[in-house]
Structure 1
Amino acid sequence: MKQRGFTLIELLVVLAIISLLLTVALPRYFGSVDKSKEAALKENLRVLRIGIDKYYADKGEYPSALSDLVTNQYFRAVPLDPMTDSDKTWQAVSPQAAGMSGIADVRSGAQGKTHDGTPYNQL
């Protein structure tokens, strides 16, 4: 009676092929995840800045906190910083004009840089 099965060499060849495919696919996957987070960060910053500008246009002053944008129904919720997965890590930028207070701009609180070398907190 003839036994059927795989030899050790056949199994090693299959494992070598799988590992070769993984070494090609994984870096592309992680790179695309990072690029999508960067795109989401830029979009969330754009949306927050538009909300701050609309608040200023309506009220004549900047919001004292990002939660004011939610309280006054400019947003349903403060957008997340996709790099930190939190809405608490946004860095508030005060207005440049003398005598004004509040949040005139926001920056990401994440450490690190984009693919083109720009720090996240300078976007």
Structure 2
Amino acid sequence: MHLNQNEEGFTLIEMLIVMSVIALLLVLITPRLGNHNENIAKKSDEATVSFVNTQIQAYYLDNGEYPESLQALVNDDYLKADIIDPNRIVLAFETSENKKVHLVEDVPVP
């Protein structure tokens, strides 16, 4: 039996180098993914606030007055209840003359 010294394959050192490079890339990329998820959540919340404010204006145009609460928008089918679910998003309803909502960021969500 004759063993060929020119067998092709990777050495243990080569495999360790490749694994180290992959690990380094994962360490560099992973934190950015977390920030990206936070940005997506923030954009989603901003879109929800904008949509609810649009529905408040639609209610005003249809009824000649602003709704007394966000629940009035749900009752009259301007919003679905899950959009204003406090377990998902916390909105503050302004009671000024031109009623609007804004995101409450300082209130912890249960």
TM-score tier after normalising by the smaller chain length? 0.5 to 0.7
Task: Show structure 2 runs of 5+ residues with no match.
Answer: 1-11
One-letter amino acid matched to 1:108: L
How many Å separate the matches in 1 of 2:28 and 2:91? 35
How far residue 86 of structure 1 moved from its aligned partner, in angstroms, is 2.1
Question: What's the TM-score once normalised by structure 2's chain length?
Answer: 0.67
Separation in structure 2 between the aligned mates of residue 22 and residue 106 of structure 1, nearest angstrom: 40
Identity of aligned residues (%): 26
- Compare CA radii of gyration and give the structure with the larger one: 2
Q: Identify the residue that residue 86 of structure 1 maps to in structure 2.
A: 88
Give the superposed CA RMSD: 2.8
**Amino acid paired to 2:101:** V
Take 1:24 and 1:85, find their aligned partners in 2: how far apart are those partners?
33
| Shift of residue 77, structure 1, vs aligned partner | 2.4
Instruction: Read off the aligned partner of 2:70 and give its amino acid letter.
Output: L
Distance 1:105 1:78, change over 3 A: farther
Q: 1:45 aligns with which of 23, 43, 49?
A: 49
Query: Does 2:28 match 1:24?
Result: yes
More helix by percentage = 2
Q: 1:61-100 counterparts in 2 under 5 A?
A: 61-80=65-84, 86-87=88-89, 89-96=90-97
Count of aligned positions: 96
> Could you tell me how far 1:73 is from its partner in structure 2?
0.7
After TM superposition, the runs of 4+ consecutive aligned structure 1 residues lying more than 3 A away are: 9-19
SS of alignment partner, residue 38 of structure 2: helix
Q: Are 1:51 and 1:74, in contact at CA under 8 Å, matched by a contact in 2?
A: yes
